[in-house]
């Protein structure tokens, strides 16, 4: 088998192993995407659905927003567990700085890039001892430095902590199609799912240009579904962080439990 075909097969096998991490209780569509970086490391993204269907995050959007908020733009290829949709192809073709070659229906190559042998997923989980709210908002503030914000120039960062001391961060990632912009909070939450982390109890949000800024309505709906027991801490700049419970952020929220496939008769 030629080396290209070998790598392509390897990627396809790998992406299939990530599909089980998807959160797809409404459709059952367990889907994953892998972004292969030039050094052979890769970034997974899985499908993350929401009861308010339109807020669902595709595997491709999840993977790209994870990569960009890590500052990783050195992309060689993107592989999907299912054929790319029209909107996924539109997302990639609108990105400046890349020209793509679609091979079959599940592999996108960056024209001119070489195809390295895939190694390991990029390690993005930090371990933080002695965690407190101040440390949490500081991590969120630092994460905001990686925001990709050509449209707004408004950076937002989010850190999500797990009881075991693991922390994941995310920043807002913008796109020329505004409907494809992902906020920092949803980026961090969906990244945590791609990396197989469970339900978080603590979310930290920092809007450095607007101390005290709180999550938008879309993020509130996603937070309340994915992290219903979380405390959400807001960066108040030089003042101590302020907190609210996830459920307080969206009183009377829409719950999708009745829509879940396991609940249907």
Residues serving a catalytic function are 185
Residue numbers of the site for ligand THU (CB under 6 A)?
Answer: 149, 152, 154, 156, 172, 174, 181, 183-185, 215-216, 219
- Which SS3 state, helix, strand or coil, does residue 77 take? strand
* CB 41 within 8 Å of CB 122: yes
The residue among 84 and 91 lying less far from ligand THU, judged by its C-beta, is 91
SS3 for 155-217 is CCEEEEECCCCEEEEEECECCCCHHHCECHHHHHHHHHHHCCCCCCCEEEEECCCCCCCCCCH
* CB 204 within 8 Å of CB 233: yes
The residue among 73 and 209 lying less far from ligand THU, judged by its C-beta, is 209
Instruction: Calculate ∠ Cα 142-163-189, nearest 5°.
Output: 55
Answer positive or negative: Cα dihedral of 98, 219, 165, 208.
positive
The residue among 80 and 144 lying less far from ligand THU, judged by its C-beta, is 144
Smallest distance, ligand THU to C-beta of residue 76, A:
27
Smallest distance, ligand THU to C-beta of residue 209, A:
10
The residue among 6 and 152 lying less far from ligand THU, judged by its C-beta, is 152
- Which SS3 state, helix, strand or coil, does residue 142 take? helix
* CB 173 within 8 Å of CB 71: no
């Amino acid at each position: 088998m030629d080396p290209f075909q070998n790598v392509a097969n390897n990627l396809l096998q790998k992406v299939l192993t990530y599909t089980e991490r998807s959160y797809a209780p409404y459709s059952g569509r367990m889907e994953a995407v892998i972004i292969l970086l030039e050094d052979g490391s890769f970034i997974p993204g899985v499908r993350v659905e929401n009861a308010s269907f339109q807020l669902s995050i595709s595997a491709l959007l999840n993977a790209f927003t994870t990569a960009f908020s890590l500052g990783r733009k050195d992309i060689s290829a993107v592989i999907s567990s299912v054929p790319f949709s029209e909107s996924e192809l539109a997302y990639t073709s609108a990105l400046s700085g890349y020209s793509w070659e679609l091979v079959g229906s599940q592999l996108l190559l960056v024209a001119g890039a070489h195809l390295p042998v895939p190694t390991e997923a990029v390690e993005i989980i930090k371990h933080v001892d002695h965690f407190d709210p101040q440390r949490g908002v500081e991590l969120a503030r630092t994460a905001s430095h990686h925001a990709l914000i050509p449209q707004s120039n408004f950076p937002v960062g989010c850190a999500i902590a797990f009881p075991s001391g693991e922390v994941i961060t995310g920043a807002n990632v913008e796109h020329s199609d505004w409907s494809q912009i992902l906020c920092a909070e949803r980026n961090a939450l969906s990244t945590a799912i791609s990396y197989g982390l469970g339900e978080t109890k603590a979310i930290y949000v920092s809007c450095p240009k607007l101390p005290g800024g709180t999550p938008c309505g879309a993020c509130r709906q996603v937070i309340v579904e994915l992290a219903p027991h979380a405390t959400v801490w807001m960066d108040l700049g030089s003042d101590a962080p302020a907190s609210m419970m996830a459920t307080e952020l969206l009183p009377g929220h829409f719950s999708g439990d009745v829509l879940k496939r396991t609940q249907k008769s």
